[in-house]
Protein backbone atom coordinates (compact mmCIF):
# COMPACT_ATOMS: atom_id res chain seq x y z
CA UNK A 1 0.00 0.00 0.00
CA UNK A 2 2.89 2.39 0.74
CA UNK A 3 6.03 2.86 -1.36
CA UNK A 4 7.77 4.22 1.72
CA UNK A 5 8.55 2.83 5.15
CA UNK A 6 8.53 4.77 8.42
CA UNK A 7 10.92 3.10 10.85
CA UNK A 8 12.20 3.95 14.29
CA UNK A 9 15.21 2.11 15.72
CA UNK A 10 15.76 2.28 19.47
CA UNK A 11 18.71 1.28 21.60
CA UNK A 12 18.01 -2.15 23.06
CA UNK A 13 19.56 -1.18 26.40
CA UNK A 14 17.25 1.78 27.18
CA UNK A 15 14.76 1.64 30.05
CA UNK A 16 11.15 1.53 28.88
CA UNK A 17 10.43 5.16 29.83
CA UNK A 18 13.36 6.31 27.67
CA UNK A 19 12.23 4.16 24.73
CA UNK A 20 8.79 5.74 24.89
CA UNK A 21 10.22 9.25 25.25
CA UNK A 22 12.62 8.82 22.33
CA UNK A 23 9.89 7.30 20.15
CA UNK A 24 7.65 10.31 20.74
CA UNK A 25 10.42 12.81 19.95
CA UNK A 26 11.60 10.97 16.84
CA UNK A 27 8.06 10.62 15.52
CA UNK A 28 7.53 14.36 15.79
CA UNK A 29 10.62 14.91 13.64
CA UNK A 30 9.34 12.67 10.85
CA UNK A 31 5.92 14.33 10.98
CA UNK A 32 7.62 17.73 10.69
CA UNK A 33 9.57 16.50 7.65
CA UNK A 34 6.52 14.85 6.03
CA UNK A 35 3.37 16.72 7.13
CA UNK A 36 1.36 14.84 4.49
CA UNK A 37 1.76 11.71 6.64
CA UNK A 38 -1.01 13.04 8.88
CA UNK A 39 -4.55 12.04 7.95
CA UNK A 40 -7.92 13.52 8.74
CA UNK A 41 -9.29 14.08 12.25
CA UNK A 42 -11.06 11.15 13.90
CA UNK A 43 -14.70 11.40 14.93
CA UNK A 44 -16.47 9.02 17.29
CA UNK A 45 -20.12 8.01 17.12
CA UNK A 46 -21.07 10.77 19.58
CA UNK A 47 -19.56 13.41 17.29
CA UNK A 48 -16.47 14.14 19.39
CA UNK A 49 -13.48 15.08 17.28
CA UNK A 50 -9.96 13.80 17.96
CA UNK A 51 -6.55 14.65 16.54
CA UNK A 52 -5.59 13.14 13.21
CA UNK A 53 -3.02 10.34 13.25
CA UNK A 54 -0.39 9.04 10.89
CA UNK A 55 -1.81 7.43 7.78
CA UNK A 56 1.17 5.08 7.65
CA UNK A 57 2.14 2.35 10.12
CA UNK A 58 5.34 2.94 12.08
CA UNK A 59 7.78 0.03 12.35
CA UNK A 60 9.62 0.02 15.69
CA UNK A 61 12.93 -1.84 15.74
CA UNK A 62 15.71 -2.24 18.29
CA UNK A 63 19.45 -2.55 17.96
CA UNK A 64 22.63 -2.50 19.99
CA UNK A 65 24.95 0.50 20.01
CA UNK A 66 27.26 -0.65 17.16
CA UNK A 67 24.25 -1.37 14.92
CA UNK A 68 22.69 2.02 15.72
CA UNK A 69 25.96 3.65 14.74
CA UNK A 70 26.03 1.72 11.46
CA UNK A 71 22.41 2.68 10.72
CA UNK A 72 23.26 6.33 11.37
CA UNK A 73 26.27 6.14 9.01
CA UNK A 74 24.29 4.37 6.26
CA UNK A 75 21.54 7.00 6.41
CA UNK A 76 24.12 9.80 6.11
CA UNK A 77 25.94 8.03 3.26
CA UNK A 78 22.67 7.66 1.35
CA UNK A 79 21.53 11.22 2.01
CA UNK A 80 18.43 10.19 3.96
CA UNK A 81 17.26 12.82 6.43
CA UNK A 82 16.64 11.33 9.86
CA UNK A 83 15.43 12.25 13.29
CA UNK A 84 18.21 11.46 15.76
CA UNK A 85 18.34 11.25 19.54
CA UNK A 86 21.64 10.98 21.41
CA UNK A 87 22.18 9.77 24.98
CA UNK A 88 23.16 13.17 26.31
CA UNK A 89 19.78 14.65 25.43
CA UNK A 90 18.30 12.79 28.42
CA UNK A 91 20.14 15.24 30.69
CA UNK A 92 18.44 18.32 29.25
CA UNK A 93 14.98 19.68 29.82
CA UNK A 94 14.02 21.62 26.70
CA UNK A 95 14.59 21.99 22.97
CA UNK A 96 17.29 24.67 23.10
CA UNK A 97 19.36 22.59 25.52
CA UNK A 98 18.77 19.47 23.41
CA UNK A 99 20.13 21.19 20.31
CA UNK A 100 23.11 22.57 22.24
CA UNK A 101 24.15 19.16 23.56
CA UNK A 102 23.43 17.52 20.20
CA UNK A 103 25.79 19.98 18.47
CA UNK A 104 28.71 18.78 20.61
CA UNK A 105 28.87 15.46 18.75
CA UNK A 106 29.74 14.24 15.27
CA UNK A 107 28.61 10.97 13.68
CA UNK A 108 31.78 9.19 14.80
CA UNK A 109 31.37 9.98 18.51
CA UNK A 110 27.61 10.41 19.03
CA UNK A 111 26.01 7.80 21.26
CA UNK A 112 22.86 7.31 19.21
CA UNK A 113 19.97 5.89 21.26
CA UNK A 114 17.29 6.34 18.61
CA UNK A 115 16.92 7.12 14.94
CA UNK A 116 13.85 7.49 12.74
CA UNK A 117 13.51 7.71 9.00
CA UNK A 118 10.96 7.55 6.23
CA UNK A 119 12.08 6.73 2.72
CA UNK A 120 11.62 4.16 -0.03
CA UNK A 121 10.91 0.74 1.53
CA UNK A 122 13.96 -0.98 0.06
CA UNK A 123 16.23 1.87 1.09
CA UNK A 124 14.93 1.83 4.67
CA UNK A 125 15.46 -1.95 4.78
CA UNK A 126 19.08 -1.52 3.64
CA UNK A 127 19.77 1.28 6.10
CA UNK A 128 18.20 -0.52 9.08
CA UNK A 129 19.87 -3.86 8.33
CA UNK A 130 20.86 -5.57 11.57
CA UNK A 131 18.01 -4.10 13.62
CA UNK A 132 15.23 -6.43 14.75
CA UNK A 133 11.56 -5.99 15.53
CA UNK A 134 11.18 -4.45 18.95
CA UNK A 135 9.80 -6.90 21.48
pLDDT exceeds 90 at position 135:
no
Domains identified in the chain and CATH numbers: 4-133 (3.40.1490.10)
Percent over 90 (pLDDT), the chain? 98
Mean pLDDT throughout 7-11?
98
Q: What's the Cα-to-Cα distance from 11 to each of 63, 116, 135, rounded to whole Å?
A: 5, 12, 12
Tell me, what's the pLDDT at 1? 83
* Model pLDDT for residues 31-43, shown as the tens digit of each residue: 999 999 999 999 9
The closest alpha carbon to 71, from 82, 57, 56, belongs to 82
CB neighbour class for 11 (10 Å; exposed up to 12, middle 13-18, buried from 19): buried
Tell me, what's the pLDDT at 78? 98
**76 compared with 1, residue with greater pLDDT:** 76
3-state secondary structure of 94: coil
Mean pLDDT throughout 81-106?
96
* Model pLDDT for residues 100-115, shown as the tens digit of each residue: 999 999 999 999 999 9
Mean pLDDT throughout 14-38?
97
Tell me, what's the pLDDT at 2? 92
pLDDT exceeds 90 at position 10:
yes
SS3 content of the chain, % helix, strand, coil (to 5): 40, 25, 35
Amino acid sequence: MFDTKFAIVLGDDLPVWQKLNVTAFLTSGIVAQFPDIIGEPYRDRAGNIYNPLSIQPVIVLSADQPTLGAIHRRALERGVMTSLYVQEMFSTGHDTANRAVFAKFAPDDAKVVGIALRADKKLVDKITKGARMHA
